[in-house]
Amino acid sequence: MQLKNDLLLRAARGEKTERTPVWLMRQAGRILPEYRAVRDSVSGFIELAQTPELAAEVTIQPVDLLGVDAAIIFSDILVIPEAMGLPYEMVEKRGPWFPETVRTESDLKKLRVADGENDLKYVIDAIQITKKALNGRVPLIGFAGAPWTIFAYMVEGSGSKTFSKSREKLYRDPVFSHKLLQLITDSTINYLKAQIRAGANLVQIFDSWAGILGPEQYREFSLKYISQICDAITEVPVTVFAKGAFFAREEMGQLNCETVGLDWNMGIAESRRLIGGEKTLQGNLDPAALYGNPDQVRAATIEMMEQFRGSRHIANLGHGVYPDIDPEMVKVFIQTVKEFK
């Protein structure tokens, strides 16, 4: 299907664009009352994500309500461990929780390499429904968590400030760690390819807990697996967003991906120098800047855009939009990007 707005894809590939494309991480939900109304109609987050028609509805809401240049499928990075045989729960005000964890060889034997089409059919169905409903208005972004981030949850059993159990495993049992990371990587490649076959125009890899590792460990236990995924996905552009991995920017410039996402702690000029001119950079306004009034949001956005001027860029925040941010300020951010000359 011919896209009416293909700015995101052209920007990712480094082609000329009339203006900078803009979208937001976590735009599908959280800030929008329309999203909360849909979520309140079901038992919670997981049921919403597993009901394709509803997942499609909340995926499209930001396109209609905020005017972003892309939709990102409403789902969760933790669908992969579930598809591998490790179910999770989403506990209100606490986040994801795994009743069982993976810490021994016998735990490993209970897992399987996930098959994208069958084990995650509800996501694939949601993508197909979304594509039909979008009718070529904007591209659809698919995504998955990076293997290290998924590993951290599977070993730890929940979110954590330190992920000390997961990091302990890397030191004490690197053989086990590499086995689990490879299982996750193979599952993720299958999953992303299934998303692409269903209609995803671009895919993003989220390494949410990248910054909790030191440079050497990140190289061995995260970057090499992200690299495998980038090498395997040849059908559509790939974006890698590794929160906190400021020390790996030069190596990210070597990945077989089109776009590198920056968090708001990564200096723009320095990042461009380290990553090089052959990649599109995505980001990286501090989400907290959107707590300002319209003039403040506009000024912060223009300041960011000036720093990216003249280079390959997709405008976004440096992390997901916070749930208590006023949607009107999000609209100011988006409009300011669109009007920037």
Catalytic residue among 13, 19, 26, 36: 26
Active site residue 76: yes
Catalytic residue among 39, 197, 219, 298: 39
Active site residue 197: no
Distance (Å) of CA 136 to CA 6, 59, 128, 133, 197 = 9, 14, 12, 8, 16
pLDDT tens profile 221-266: 999 999 999 999 999 999 999 999 999 999 999 999 999 999 999 9
Catalytic residue among 6, 35, 69, 76: 76
Vertex 284: Cα angle to 279 and 290 (nearest 5): 160
**Cα 25 versus chain centre, distance:** 7
pLDDT tens profile 5-20: 999 999 999 999 999 9
Catalytic residue among 13, 19, 30, 197: 30
Rounded distance between C-alpha atoms, residue 100 and residue 86, angstroms: 7
Active site residue 153: yes
Active site residue 322: no
Active site residue 39: yes
Q: Average pLDDT for residues 141-168, to the nearest whole number?
A: 97
Grade residue 29 by pLDDT with cuts at 50, 70 and 90: confident
Block residue for tokens 């749930």: 323
Q: Average pLDDT for residues 101-122, to the nearest whole number?
A: 97
pTM above 0.75, yes or no: yes
Position 94 scores a pLDDT of 83
Catalytic residue among 6, 69, 119, 153: 153
Average pLDDT value for the chain:
97
